[in-house]
Structures are given as structure tokens and as C-alpha cells.
Structure 1
């Protein structure tokens, strides 16, 4: 195995200096390089300060504070690119939040009835969160607002608080949608263009050490673009010409993406004209250009070069096509099912999933214990304990352990800002400009990391709480104490006592991906249909399988990054899987490259060689599934077979994957 393969170092590698903080903590405290979303920051400042100004003008500051609280949840949920997705991300959670605060208000002051009600709501919230991203935020708001309603003396009658909180969220949605008439399709178009740009970067790095990382960016960009375009198309009645054109432009990226691994395996850089031509396509997509380009490309000689040349010329023809055939654009590569079907599947999966029940029970246990504790022991602002538990115990948002520690640190930093505001700024109209600044910090800090987001949200919540409770600087100490209690409950009863907290799921997910790779090889090189229709169906199935594998690999990487933020031994075990994660990605790339070469003139592999590769892949999957770490895998014999076969790179990558277990690796 080459030096390049053996020296792959996972992100978050621990530092060895005796006084250095642990790697998992450094990873969470290191700000992300993501750019600041200035438009979102401006919207947040306006959305949260305007209700305060209206409240002061009407001499009802408490009402203004509640509307701002609703706006806060809308600001946190405003993370989508496409406008229709923003409607879902903001409006749907607001409905769940309204139900939550209504239920909480109804049990306010009812002692153990409130404890039981919040525990049951926590169970439902946790199970809902397993469905998907929007459902996760909806479950979060359902429980958060229920805790607020049960812990604060909100205005009566019971429907007042739900109405005000929902108004705040809808105000954020209104501000978000102001640009829709001018930029209605811009997010989808930009996403498609970004796919071409990321592909150009990958082609530019072909044959070099940076290719693997850039190819992963292509996968992320392609998945994101399909999610936006097909997600929007599922909600548009009929066939929109603009959406069909964007889908056609996205579909023709697939042959280019498939050709990239074949060019990378040559080991030599591509002529600069090729990445430049792909970047020109990106500009044409984003600008809506339709004039036919003049491609000046080097003459192809090998099957891989012919594949790339044909894919690039076909992409150029489709990208600049002004009027695509509305009924001849294939959306089977990712077309979502109808909303009714997806809802039925989601409910079924939620009710039958062990993971859903386990998370719901974990959350219910922690919320129930938090509520019992504050019911038995006098704790100021006791609802903050349950709020902290709710924010921290979100495994789909990242490591529970690191979130608990980072929330404590972020809360401490936020309290410093809150102390300055509550001690120096007089209550009243001065709160409006202060809220403009503090609210704008939430989107700006949220993209930098969880600790930074917590630091930005803390002073905002305290300022709004002061408008409801009029305690001023006296809010600081109970806020810190309650946050620490909530973090401690989560760490003990939501993390340490659950066996799955102490093991990484990387091996299981990686084994599933290797099994998918075996099926991919079988579809790519197994018996092919004789009819043209059958060949088209087989090609679509193969492309669907490839996309599913790359999506699965993205999930493995996300799980890997999450596990690295866990304390020892989980983080160290996760790091041990890194070389195998890279090796499996290369196996899939080599399989794709082999299929591309066969499509453009290379000799197809024999049936016996295909069967051997499939058997080896399934054996590797079984070994990964039964191993606690890669060192327990049995190394395989050196690859044998024809060195000129298109599957020779696949066999070599398979041997490299098994060699990870060899002594001295």
C-alpha cells in the first residue's frame, strides 16, 4: 500500500501536549470557517426587535417579549436555501410550538400533573425527532414551548401565548419570503451551478492527493442540488419548464461524475481545458445562457478519456438547450414519493423503530427527572433546567456529551454579555437597539459552532425573560446554576447510563455500505438485459445504487465526525475506522471507473472475476459488522488476477482495505 494511503490522518487527531485540552473539546471550540450570513443576521435583528418596539408603543412589553420569543425559534430554524423549504422549516415547527405552549399553559401550577404531562410530551417529542430534519425541529419546539408554558405565568386566556409565539415565527417567515418574487428559483439554480463548480475542482485535482476530498464535495453538492430541485418539483403541479431544465442540467452531471474516478486512476493531471469547460457550464447554468458553446477539447484516446469527452459534450448540449422536452427528463434518480406516502412511511417507521423509542424514552426520562427535581427542591427559574436538557439531548444534532460541555461553556460566555446588558442598559426603549445587535449575532455565531450559538442565544433569552419577570441582574446566577444542573442530568441519565453512548456506529453503517457496494458491482457487471428498454432500466438502477452508496458514505462521514467529538474511548475507536472509511470510498470509485471504461470500449471482466469481487466485498462487510475495530479484521491475500482487467483497481482497493488489519499498519 502506498505512503499516501497509510498516512491518512483523521480530522480531530488528538494532541499529545500534556497541558493541551482534549481533542474533542478543541474540535467543538474551534470556529467553523463558514461565511457569516449577513442577510439572515439583518432579518434576525429586525424580526426580534420590531415586536419589542411595538410592545413598548402599546404599553404591553410582555406581549412584545412573547412575540420576540416566537421570532427566536423562527430565526434558529431559518436554515434552508430554497424558499419553499423555508416555509416548511419555519411554519411547520411553529405549529408544533403553538401546541406545546398551549399544553404547557393548561398544566401550569398543577404540580405532579405538569410533571407527568411534560414527561409524556418529551416521549412524543423524541419519537417525532427521528423522522427527519423538519420533524426534529418540530419536536424540539413542541417540548421547549411546553416547558415554557408550564414554567412561566403567561398571559391568559390560554390561547394568548400560542397566538403571540406563532405570530413571531410567522413574522420571521414573512421577512424571509420578501425576496421570493425576485429570487424565486435562484437557490436551486445556484445549487446546480455549484455542482458543476465542485466537479471542475475535482477534475482539476484528478491524479493528485487532493482528489478524494474534492470528490466528496462533489457528492455533497450533487445531493444538495437534487434535494432542492426534486423537493420543489414534488410540490409543483404539472411540469414547470424551468424546473425541468434545471433537472436536465443536473442529470447530465452524472456521466461526468462517473468519468472523474476513471480519469483519476490514470495518475496524471487532466489538461486545463477540461476543468475550464466545466466551469463555463456552471456560469451558463447560473446565468441562464442558451447560446451553443464552442468546445476546444483535446482528442480522447483511452476509454476513460472517451467517456469524459462524450459526457462533457453531451452536458454542454443540454445545459445550453433553451427548451427541454417536458416529458422526456428522467427524475427517477431521486424523485420523492407523494406527500401522503412519505407521511405514512414516516409514522410507520417512527412507531416501529427501536431507535425512535429509545431516544424518546431517554428524553422522557431526563425531562421527568428534571421536573421531579425542581418540584422537590426549590430552584429559581426551574424551567431552565428542562430547557437545557431539551437543547442538549439531541443526538441528531451531534454528540450529547460534547453538546453538554459546550453548552455549559457557551452559557458562561453568554452570561458575561448578558451581565453587561442587564447591569448597564436601562430597561425600556433602549432594549430595542440592544436586541437588534444581540439578535443579529445569533445567525452569525450559529454557523461557527454550537458553543458560539449558545453564547449568542443566552443574552437574548435573558433579556426577554427580564421583560417578563423584571428581575434584571438577578437572573444571571440562577441561569448558570440551572444550566449546569440540566447538563449534569443529561450527562448522567441521557448519556452515561445508555450502552450505545459508549460505542460508535461507524462499523455497522460502513458494513451496510460495503454490502451496497457488492450489489453495485453485481448490477454493473452482472448479466445485462438484451432489450434497449431493459438496458435503460438497468442503467437507471445502477445510477440509483451509486447515488445511494455515496449518500451512505456521507452518512458514515457525518457519524465519524460526530464520534470524534466524544471523549475516550469512543473518539479513539472512531479514529481507528478512518483508514477503512477512505478505503471503502475508493472501492466504490474504482467500481464506477471500471463501469465507465467498459461503456467506452474496454474489455468487460469475466463472470468468475466479478463473482470473486462480490464474494470478497460481502466477506469484508461481514468482517466489519462483527468487528469492534479494524484491527480485528483478518487481512486477505494479495490480489490475484489479470493486471489489465478493468476490475484490477477494485481488487487492489479491496486488498488495501483488508491490509488495514495487517501487523504494523
Structure 2
């Protein structure tokens, strides 16, 4: 996509607001916490301490609105502590001209690295940079720096306390994540009804649902009983739907059996929708009228499913009944939270923030390499924030910190978010500053009225966090204007400075990304190779279970599935971001065209689908093994790993060894007596045939590779 089109599209995405609003109760709770800090401090200590306390309370409140499954109180307290540390260090260094830019560069670099832990941590870390820039502009002695830092931390503590005393939809995020997984299953059932070979589900709802099911000890004790076990049931439903619909291991391709399968899939979709609505609302499920269609009997003279298709339909009806019973009974003894595979430990534990420090440090350490997108973002953010600060200083502007503040809040690891947020922030700042300045000029509010207006703007910012960054920025800009309006200064001159410095910070940030980009397009082949290797391991683990039902650890299947799902999600995200980048695909990945990438994705998707279909019919531990399945699984694991390396380095993919192994295995099974071939052996053979089809498709997809110029 050319630069003009990329900039137009990203600007449009940043400026077009959504109609969604945050929960007004949560917005009011956050604004109330700020008021509980600002007004007492303003009355006791004056305007400067009140400014520090208000900034801490506001940013800590913003942390409680992030998409996180931790208790909101812990997020607010942790954000307040981080703000207190950044404030104290900023005050300690600002009196020494050479020291503060160095501290700012180091702190911004560290804030950029926090993205390795997750987006919530990255957003909160970026806000600590902005608070460091804003608060330290209010000159104080080093002796009172610790007091200002304590006030910032106090703001976070009050936010945490308010969340505890005024709980609002405490489990809303977990319910939404779980309901989204069931809604995705319903859509998948409808797609399978029309197309038995429909593509994979969207992995993101299942990744999010699994993250939501990891609970702290406090959450384990207080979790609603009706939410226990539902994720595990959803994981069972996923392969069962595919196995029922696929004509190779499920219902026949045509005829009465296919019609019966369509009826069951339609009824399952309605039941899954009903489950999603009940989970979202926290109420017992209301069975749809189509529930009787899930039974296997049907009309007396109607079609009946047989074999593996019948087993899949029976299991699907049982799973949907279990899910409905879990919501209906609302009893802790109904079902225990388990992982979706037998023999695996139940419950996913989420460590406390303190215990997360070692794992977070390890995640950051892994990103300390030049090719890492997080490392490049940290370097870029550090440079942009520091340069913006140094460029604004020579002009002697009192509010010069707005340039680096804009840069810190705009920068993101990918192009689309950085540019859309840059445009949105400029538009929001101009609107917020213009309106606020007009109010100040016309009404001339005093200290207390300015504080009241600041709290109202905070309520607006919290309420519009889901509406769009431009609208939220307008509210935040108005809040900061009223807050710093507690200090002396010319309102018109201050407003003009803020707009110009916001423009300066945005230009520096966007220019830095344009000159030193982190293009996702260049990483598409790497992401494809990772997914291929993960899908190969998943398919091999499932196949190996058929070969040795008693000796295989079922956790290996679970872990391989999670790796494959995560790798596919990362590829999809990379493709989505690459589509918004102003670079041609062939320029960045010369050995793999976009058309080849799409074909290769379809081939790897078929490889993963083979594992999904077989997983729905995993044998019990006491089942007889399928002869030769374990040996074929070993060959499959090796061949897909070699193929992934070939995709990564631009070499041809060759599955000739796997093809020979499959021919030998299939021939040995074909020589067995007809009566000796069991149902699960047929499933394994069908799965292996899908694997070989995927291997052939992948070979064709990447056969003619472009050779980079100069190679």
C-alpha cells in the first residue's frame, strides 16, 4: 500500500469514533476516587501537592480500565506505586540539567520494554513517563520530592480502595471472554452447516478465554460457581463440531445423513448462542426451541447417523447439556474447573504481581536482541521522547513537556496504532484545549471550580475510553488544562503552546517510525514457519496418542494445541498489521509472495484441521493402539520441523520422506483383514490422508520462490 493510502486509512481509523461507552458506574467510581484525593489535598496542602495527587489518581484509575483479568484493585495499587517511583526519580533528577534527559531516556526505554509483558503493562508504563514529565514541571525542593511521590502513590491506593468498596461487575471481563468463545463456536457451527470443510475458528477468543480462566488465589475463592468448567467444555465442543461435519470422519457428504448433521449443527448453533447470552448475563440458560433436534433419534422413519458421526453427535449433545447444567445449577459441586484434556491438573493459576517479577524479567530478557519488535520499540520510544524534550527546551516554553508527553503516549510497537493514535491525539488535543481555554477565558474559574471541572473531565475520559482515542484525548487535555490551571499563567498563551508542542511531539514520533520502522511485513515468513512447526507438533501428538493410548501424556496434546493456536494468532495479527503498512509485500519478503503466503496458510490450516478431527476421537487409555501410528507421528514431527526451517530461510519444501513413510504405513493397514480395521483406525487413516494433502499443498504453495536481488 502506498504511503498516501496508508496515512489516509490510519488517520481515518484514529478519528472515527465508536458508539461504545464504558460502564457509567465504573466511570463515576474512578472520578469519585480522584475527587476523594484532590479536594482534601487541595484544602490541606495547596495546589502543587493536589496536582501530584490528581495525576496519580487519574492514571491509576486508567489502569483499572485496561483489558486485564487481574483484580482491578491490584492494578490500581501497582500503577500508583509505579507513578510514585517515577515522580520521585523525576524530581530528584530535574534539578540537574544533564541528569534528567538521561533519566528520561532510560525510563522511556524501560517503559517500552514492558510491552514484552503485555499490552496492559505497556500502556501503564507509558503513562508513568507522561506523569514524570508533567508533575516535575512544578518546581519543588528535593526535600519535598518524596512527598509528591507519596501523593501519586496515594492516588493509586485510593483508587484501589474505591474499587474494593464499590465493586462493579467484578467478573465482567471473564464473562465477556468466555461468552465470546461460545459465540465463536456458534458461528463456527453455522459455517460448518453450509460448508463441512469450513476454515478454522478465530483463535483469539479461545486464547483470551484461557487467559481469563487463570485466577489469583483470591479469585479462586470468590469466583461464581456458574463459571466453573465452561471453558473446558468449550474446548471439547470445538473438535466435536468439526468431526461431525467433515465427510471424511463424520456425516456422509450427501444424503439423509448429511441432512441430519445439518439439523444437529443448526440446533447446536442456537444452543451455543443461548449459552453465550446466559454467560454474559450471569443467568441460567434458556434452551432454544431447537434443543430436541440435538437428540439422535429424530423421527421414527427419519435418518440416523452411524459410526464416528453418531459418536460425535452424541458427544456434542452431552457437552451442550453439561454446559447448560453448569449454568442452571449455579452450584459449586456442579462441575470442577479443569483443563479440557483428561488426566491434566485442574485450574489455571495466576501469580500475584510480586511473584510475576521473575517471569516478567525473563520475558524482557528474551526481547533484548536487535531483531525484536519490542526492543526496537523501546529504542525508538526512548529516542523520540528524549529528542522531543531536548528540542522543546531551547524555546524556553513553560509547557515544553507536552512534546515528549505526546510522543510517549502515541508510540506503539506497530505502524497502524502509532499513526492512528498520533492523528487522534492531535485532533483531540486541539479540541480539548480550545474548548477548555474558552471556558477559562469566559468564566475565569477559581481554584476550586477548576478542580471540580477537572474531575468532570476525568469522568468524561473514563466514560469514553472505548469510544475512541481522539474523544478520550480531548477529555484528558481538558482535564490537564484545568488541573494545571491551578497554577498561574496566561491561558491563551498556554493553549497555543500546548497545541504547537503536541504537533511537534506527534511529528517527531511519526517521523521516527517512518525512518526507523518495525514492519510486520518483513516477519510474515517467520510467523508462518512458527505456525507450521507448531501445527506439525500438534498433529504429531494427536497421531501418537492413537499409536500409544496408554503411554502418551495427554498434556502433550494440550500444550501442542496451545502452541499452534498462539502461533496462528500471531500470524493473523501480523498479516492484519502488515496490510496497513505502506510497503509492498514483495519488497520486504522477496522469497515469498503474498499469493504464496495465502496458499501456504491454507495448507498449514489443513494440517491443523487434521489434528482437530482426530482429537475429537482420541482413544481411551485402555483402547488398542493403531499399528504404525506412533512411527508415522515421529516422521511427521521431524518433517514439519524441517519444512518450517525451509520456509524461514527461503528453501524449497520437500515432504518426500514423509510421503514414503505414509505409503508404507497405509499399505500395511490396507493388508489387514476388513473386519480387523476398527473405527478409530479409520479415523487415523483419514487424518493421515489430510496430513499428506496439506503437505502436497504446501509444497506447491512455496515451490517457485523469488530470489532476493543481489543474492
Match of 2:578 in 1: 563
Q: Under a length normalisation based on structure 2, what TM-score does the superposition of the two structures give? A: 0.75
Question: Is the Cα contact below 8 Å between 1:513 and 1:549 reproduced in 2?
Answer: yes
1:176 aligns to 2:163 (yes or no): yes
Matches of 1:325 and 1:224, distance apart in 2: 24
Question: Is the Cα contact below 8 Å between 2:7 and 2:419 reproduced in 1?
Answer: no
Question: Is the Cα contact below 8 Å between 1:47 and 1:171 reproduced in 2?
Answer: yes
2:210 to 226, 231, 235: 226
Match of 2:299 in 1: none
- How do residues 336-415 of structure 1 correspond to structure 2 at under 5 angstroms? 336=349, 342-352=356-366, 353-354=368-369, 355=372, 357-395=375-413, 399-415=417-433
Match of 1:111 in 2: 97
Matches of 1:25 and 1:571, distance apart in 2: 25
Question: Is the Cα contact below 8 Å between 1:412 and 1:480 reproduced in 2?
Answer: yes
Residue 520 of structure 1: CA displacement?
A: 0.9
Match of 2:270 in 1: 276
Match of 1:525 in 2: 543
Question: Is the Cα contact below 8 Å between 1:602 and 1:646 reproduced in 2?
Answer: no
Residue 524 of structure 1: CA displacement?
A: 1.0
Q: Under a length normalisation based on structure 1, what TM-score does the superposition of the two structures give? A: 0.80
Question: Is the Cα contact below 8 Å between 2:425 and 2:469 reproduced in 1?
Answer: yes
Residue 480 of structure 1: CA displacement?
A: 1.9
Matches of 2:154 and 2:494, distance apart in 1: 26
2:129 to 122, 138, 143: 143
Residue 344 of structure 1: CA displacement?
A: 1.9
Match of 1:439 in 2: 458
CA offsets 1:44-71 (integer angstroms, 9 cap, x no match): 4434456555566669344443333223
CA offsets 1:534-556 (integer angstroms, 9 cap, x no match): 34x2x222122112321232233
Match of 2:502 in 1: 483
Q: Using a 3 Å threshold, how does the CA distance of structure 1 residues 264 and 483 change in structure 2: closer, same or farther? A: farther
1:297 to 271, 294, 299: 294
Matches of 2:5 and 2:130, distance apart in 1: 38
Matches of 1:152 and 1:230, distance apart in 2: 42
CA offsets 1:620-643 (integer angstroms, 9 cap, x no match): 52344235xxxx977999x99889
Residue 35 of structure 1: CA displacement?
A: 5.1
Question: Is the Cα contact below 8 Å between 1:598 and 1:604 reproduced in 2?
Answer: no
Matches of 1:604 and 1:452, distance apart in 2: 61
Question: Is the Cα contact below 8 Å between 1:605 and 1:646 reproduced in 2?
Answer: no
> Structure 1, unaligned stretches of length 5 or more?
1-13
Match of 2:188 in 1: 202
Q: Using a 3 Å threshold, how does the CA distance of structure 1 residues 456 and 31 change in structure 2: closer, same or farther? A: same
CA offsets 1:348-403 (integer angstroms, 9 cap, x no match): 34235323654443333333333333444434412122212221233179643444
Question: Is the Cα contact below 8 Å between 2:600 and 2:702 reproduced in 1?
Answer: no
Q: Using a 3 Å threshold, how does the CA distance of structure 1 residues 130 and 598 change in structure 2: closer, same or farther? A: closer
1:458 to 477, 481, 488: 477
Matches of 1:258 and 1:514, distance apart in 2: 19
1:94 to 52, 64, 80: 80
Count of matched residue pairs: 637
Matches of 1:584 and 1:463, distance apart in 2: 56
Question: Is the Cα contact below 8 Å between 1:389 and 1:487 reproduced in 2?
Answer: yes
Matches of 1:141 and 1:363, distance apart in 2: 13
Match of 2:321 in 1: 316
Q: Using a 3 Å threshold, how does the CA distance of structure 1 residues 281 and 603 change in structure 2: closer, same or farther? A: farther
Question: Is the Cα contact below 8 Å between 1:206 and 1:263 reproduced in 2?
Answer: no
Residue 619 of structure 1: CA displacement?
A: 5.3
Question: Is the Cα contact below 8 Å between 2:531 and 2:567 reproduced in 1?
Answer: yes
DSSP 3-state at the match of 2:613: helix
Q: Using a 3 Å threshold, how does the CA distance of structure 1 residues 397 and 170 change in structure 2: closer, same or farther? A: farther
Residue 589 of structure 1: CA displacement?
A: 3.0
CA offsets 1:587-622 (integer angstroms, 9 cap, x no match): 423421233256599997965876776566445523
Question: Is the Cα contact below 8 Å between 1:411 and 1:483 reproduced in 2?
Answer: yes
Matches of 1:26 and 1:309, distance apart in 2: 49
Question: Is the Cα contact below 8 Å between 1:45 and 1:435 reproduced in 2?
Answer: no
CA offsets 1:195-241 (integer angstroms, 9 cap, x no match): 3343233223324479979921xx433333332332235x56xx749
Question: Is the Cα contact below 8 Å between 2:37 and 2:53 reproduced in 1?
Answer: yes
Question: Is the Cα contact below 8 Å between 1:441 and 1:456 reproduced in 2?
Answer: yes
Match of 1:249 in 2: 230
CA offsets 1:116-157 (integer angstroms, 9 cap, x no match): 222232333333442334532443244233323443325871
Structure number with bigger Rg:
2
2:348 to 330, 335, 341: 335
Matches of 2:618 and 2:545, distance apart in 1: 14
Residue 582 of structure 1: CA displacement?
A: 5.7
Question: Is the Cα contact below 8 Å between 2:403 and 2:501 reproduced in 1?
Answer: yes
1:468 to 481, 487, 491: 487
CA offsets 1:566-600 (integer angstroms, 9 cap, x no match): 33347996993566556544542342123325659
Question: Is the Cα contact below 8 Å between 1:399 and 1:565 reproduced in 2?
Answer: no
Question: Is the Cα contact below 8 Å between 1:244 and 1:329 reproduced in 2?
Answer: no
Question: Is the Cα contact below 8 Å between 2:610 and 2:690 reproduced in 1?
Answer: yes
Question: Is the Cα contact below 8 Å between 1:521 and 1:591 reproduced in 2?
Answer: yes
